[in-house]
Chain A
Amino acid sequence: MLPIITKRLTSLVFVLFSLTFITFMVGHLAPGDPIQFMLGGRYDPARYQQLRHSYGLDQPLFLQYWSYVTGLLHGDLGKSFQFAGRPVVEILAPGIAVSLQLGVAALIVSTLVGVPAGVAAALNHNRLSDRAIMFVMLALFSIPSFVLIPILRALNFMLYDRGLPSLPVAQWGTPEQAVLPVFVLAAASAGYVARLTRSSMLEVLSQDYIRTAYSKGLPARIVNVRHALRNALLPVVTVLGPSTAFLVTGAFVVETIFSIPGVGYISVQSIGQRDYPVIQATTLLLGFAVVLTNLVTDLLYSVLDPRIRVA
């Protein structure tokens, strides 16, 4: 176990370095002088120098990178351009909680839908129900979220027109407001989870020990749950990593269209205002989230499946 952790941590350091370095360089290469932009018409050489110094832009590049990284380690994501002097952390903090709720809810929903769907499809291998389930899951996986959203909203309007209860399509906070965005965000990874569960389950069902279990006279339900599902779920754990990556990109779209004040929404707003430090911080934050999920997934997998440790 220890060598795996060491190896993973070494590569983690490299990945985190890449994230911070590329983000820093992109920000550094950004066209235009942010200080001049900030001062606008009230340009004054003394004030300009003072601000340049306060943002640390008068230092050599590698020192700037160094103070950027040490700042990050102290939880300092820089200062916003748009709201002069206000720390980025302060701007993003409320969004993090919202995005986390949205993301975790979507992850749970996609697992709760995807795993049973995959199992059901595998147990009915090549029958009509298998085809039907997999068709729906493939559709969920491949319909882009911004196509799914108008479809759902149109359905919602139809409910409203018939006087049936309909769902709110903007803002965040109440459970009703969460239904549509969580569904849209969960759709793609639910499809992915279902496909993976199905193929993993099919593989396990063809193993010798399943036949052994049947020949012992165990009922199908016990074999399916205790022998097959338990082992089939192992590879499904690995889906956590890619799913989080889906959710991160999806969050930008879903938060923007549903006006949910999460990290993605704040970031898109800052794009309009050319508030580079906020955009950079969002990229880093979401990148970190995915990297850490990947690490946890790998470690979890090697805990659950001892065979991996040997390899």
Chain B
Amino acid sequence: MNTGSITTLAPKVASGALRSERLTEDALAAIASLQPSLNAFITVLADTALRRAREADKEIAAGRYLGPLHGMPISLKDLVDVVGVPTTAASRLREQHIAKRDAPVTSHLKHAGAVIVGKTNLHEFAFGTTNEDSGWGPARHPDDPTRSPGGSSGGSAVSVRAGMALASVGTDTGGSIRIPAAACGIVGLKPAWGEISAEGVVPLSRQLDHVGPLGRSVDDVELLYHVMRGVSPPSTAGMHDSLSGITLATLGGYFKERMSVDVESVVDAAYESIARAGAKLASASLAHAAQIAPVYLHLVLADAAAYHATALEQRPDAYCPKVRLRLEMGRHIMAEDYVRALNGRHVISQEIDAALSHVDALILPALAVEAPPIGAETVAVRGGSEPVRNIMLRCTQPFNLSRHPAISVPCGTTKAGLPVGLQIVANRTHDVLRIARAVERTLAMRA
């Protein structure tokens, strides 16, 4: 199984000590072995991946090295177009679809030499947080297949964690990169809105959709982030960003009151390590935090309903039943409430801007609970019962409304051995990555 990160393996590939063919064969072997239990992929591109890997090896041997992604096996969420390959969005509605061209993000990755091993499973049309409503069945958590890996980019996170790919491309409308990254114990970056093109990517809500990478380290997601924008990645070799002199504000109140005790314990321990490493910790809150979920719900429901209206009329039975019902619900949103939600997005964005004006970044969990059991409608939190979807979105959706860049980095495991992700939010993606690299290093030294 592939266990290294792209940035640690790349020098070996560049020198010819490690062949892309070997890395790709390992990824495909992991897919063959684990797909029956984890269901991470909808389409596996074994033949084209091996062919491309052998070409990469020849190119590198001939001195035509394209950079650290050259020859690296990666996966793409099956919302992203790859020419000649179906983009199903995990919906039987699109079973016959074949992409006519590469999405710009696909094109950038191909030009950097990446080897695409397949298209990953997701919550149908990215409209859910658990990955269990998929026309191809649920993806499953790599540590406990009775649990959800999170979603909607669940297959992407599973593929990276389980060695089926070294990195993946996901999308995030309310947390769909950060939630599965946190649940599966990998790194997931939602860049600032619009930094990575969403053209050729099936939308959920164009005003909230973000495209971004999932990987095994902050350096890896930074590499993909640059490549996915069509920018040459700067070298991060030898970079040792420090937490000394950094001020981080923890978000309390609304963001803590429904947090599982186990998750809170892991996150508090991470905060202590971060403070010991020299960061100054402050606290912040958002005055309209209680309105975040209603604002988000009205925007995403109406935007999704507009996109799906024709298909809902013509082929309603092609959707997973629960996804269809949520889309039908969106068709009932009134215009006046949509306007209220648009105004609310503005207010909440201003509040996050203001909270960030005093500090370098905000920190909070990416996911307030452990990965939930597949099929659960609610989870127990602090003696109460919370709907799974609401609780999973709680810590991530504010930053889709505000469009700030945010990342989830692993920060430990609960007593049950399930991963917890720490979320870092800043004004610029560069700052998110810089602070995340320092946090990652600090937490690794603790282990």
Asked if A pairs with B, the answer is no
Please list the residues of chain B having a beta carbon within 8 angstroms of any beta carbon in chain A.
Answer: none
